[in-house]
Amino acid sequence: MGYIKPEEVLSPKGRVGNIRILVEKEDYSIVLLEWDGEDVIATRWNTTNAEKDNIGTPQSRGLPTWFILPAEIAIPYIEKYVKERELKEKLIGFFK
């Protein structure tokens, strides 16, 4: 089963940029990205049950999009993830 790669999820145009992948699995992705010029943590389900396009979730008007995690959820998760999986090099400079 294929899916849209996280680096290809660029909608809505003008709001998403500088995607840095933290986790990429067939089921889901978690990334650091710029949203309206601000660094945020975002996620999405990469696969759906649809056999036709398998665009994932969330989506808007047939285009794959990101779900921006609130800082209250994202920061504790990422701190735990970094400790467990030694991803410090991917996060250098993210937390200011």
Confidence label for 1 from pLDDT (cuts 50, 70 and 90): low
CA–CA distance, 45 with 31 (Å, rounded to integer): 12
pLDDT (tens digit, 9 = 90+) per residue, 67-88?
999 989 888 887 777 666 666 6
- The tens digit of pLDDT for each residue in 39-60 reads 999 999 998 666 666 789 999 9
Backbone phi, psi, residue 31, to 5°: -135, 160
- The pTM (predicted TM-score) of the whole model is 0.79
List the single range of 11-25, 29-43, 46-60 with lowest mean pLDDT: 46-60
Tokens describing residue 63: 């285009």
Give one DSSP letter per residue of 49-96, joined into a string. S-SS----BSEETTEE--EEPPHHHHHHHHHHHHHHH--HHHHTTT--
Q: Look at residue 96 in the predicted model and tell me its pLDDT.
A: 47
DSSP-derived letter for residue 12 is S
Where in the chain are the domains?
6-91
pLDDT for the residue 78: 77
> Nearest to residue 21, comparing CAs of 10, 9, 11, 30?
30
